[in-house]
Amino acid sequence: MKQISSILVIAAILSPLNLIAGDIKLSGFATIAGGFTAGKSQVLEGYDDKPSADKSSLFGIQASSELGKGWSATTQFLARGVDSWKLDTEWAFLSYEVTDNWRLLFGRQRAPFYIYSDFLDVSYAYHWIKPPSGVYSLVFDVFDGIGSVYNSSIGKLDSTLHVTYGRNRDPAIHLGLEENLEFSNFFAASWSISHKWLTLRSSYSRTNLTVPVTPMQSLYDGWRATPYQDVADKLEALNDLADYAGLGITFDSKNYLLVAEITRVQPGNNILPDQDSFYVSVGKHFGPVLFHFTYGEDENVADRSILSSVPQNTGTPLDELVMGTQEAFAMVEDKSAFYTFGVRWEMGESTALKAEFTRYNNKRDSANNASLLQMALTTVF
């Protein structure tokens, strides 16, 4: 599905008609980022204490073309340092302008979960090197399907309603392993209203999810061999109904910046934990320089009630399963806080240099605490 829609869109862009008309618009963006942590055993955002420069670096090219009668085709290719600079189609969609205010998108596109979802890879478009990973934590962010973007005015307010429906079947890295995840009947909507520099945003999403967790398979099998098979059924994330909700605020004036987001993920009744996250970021401009500070917290809580029907301390092999399951709960649970001091410097019209210091404190296991220093050069062209 992904392949087919990408090929269709690329074919539309490169159609002979367009080559003759020569109206393909190319735009690009790039981030060269590097960093290192403060101590030998510290790992954060993929960085360790050895300075490296390819973890967040990326290079993107977008081609778009007007096809006439309100139709246009857009595709974005992305090469990431972390994937050995392999070129991949990030998205590809056909868009149809129904009216001046209403646009339909067909194909592979970004899901409108967060404030910065739409331009997550374009670091130049926001103040950090990357948005806080606690909130920006969902395992997928693009889907294949249909989207509708409707802009309108409500009195003095500008309103944008973005509604999407589709699915995602891309393999993804989850808990450190590549797994065949499946998100079907995926629905997401966001609504933002803005006036001048102030924007309020809310988003909601619901999907059926299947998330195999390979290391848990033996645990599922174990439970299925007991009279408590329903525990296995509950633990397994198989076609479960998951919900996501987020709220956000942006105040972005000439001199001041305030951004905050709060999100809740409820992946359904299974081994995957509920996630609550928020961050608040403030900044002040001094000419071409923006100083900013961000604080955020994340908490992952497992649904331990799954074990409530099972007798404990029976002196049978059941105890081992109970213990193994409790360990699994502890493994997916987490509680942490972070703060980031950062600076963004406009070096001319379309390039910005950024530097950030982040301190991460894990409230469950202080051995995971870490400090990270990062620098990045970001540009659009």
- Per CB under 8 A, residues contacting another protein are 25, 27, 29, 60, 62, 64, 72, 74, 76, 93, 95, 100, 103, 105, 110, 118-119, 121-122, 124-126, 149, 151, 156, 158, 195-197, 252-256, 285, 288, 346, 349-350, 352, 380
Residue (69 or 156) nearer to another protein, CB: 156
Residue (174 or 292) nearer to another protein, CB: 292
Residue (146 or 238) nearer to another protein, CB: 146
Q: How far is the CB of 86 from another protein (least distance, A)?
A: 20
Residue (93 or 360) nearer to another protein, CB: 93
Q: How far is the CB of 178 from another protein (least distance, A)?
A: 27
Give the residue carrying structure tokens 């948005």: 131
Residue 224 tokens read as 């299925």
Quick check: helix, strand or coil at residue 138? coil
Q: How far is the CB of 187 from another protein (least distance, A)?
A: 19
The span from the CA of 116 to the CA of 105, in Å, is 19
- Length, in residues, of the chain: 381
The span from the CA of 53 to the CA of 33, in Å, is 6
Nearest alpha carbon to residue 73 among 123, 40, 25:
25
Q: How far is the CB of 136 from another protein (least distance, A)?
A: 16
**What ranges make up the beta strands (E) of the chain?**
24-37, 58-68, 71-80, 87-99, 102-110, 142-154, 157-168, 171-174, 177-180, 182-195, 198-211, 237-252, 256-266, 274-286, 289-301, 334-346, 351-362, 370-380
Q: How far is the CB of 51 from another protein (least distance, A)?
A: 28
Residue (28 or 212) nearer to another protein, CB: 28
Q: What are the Cα distances from residue 3, in Å, to 7, 8, 33, 92, 118?
A: 6, 9, 30, 10, 21
Residue (158 or 179) nearer to another protein, CB: 158
> Do residues 45 and 133 touch, judged by C-beta distance below 8 A?
yes
Q: How far is the CB of 12 from another protein (least distance, A)?
A: 13
Quick check: helix, strand or coil at residue 226? coil
Q: Which backbone phi and psi does 228 adopt, to 5 degrees?
A: -100, 55
> Do residues 335 and 134 touch, judged by C-beta distance below 8 A?
no
Q: How far is the CB of 153 from another protein (least distance, A)?
A: 8
Residue (49 or 158) nearer to another protein, CB: 158
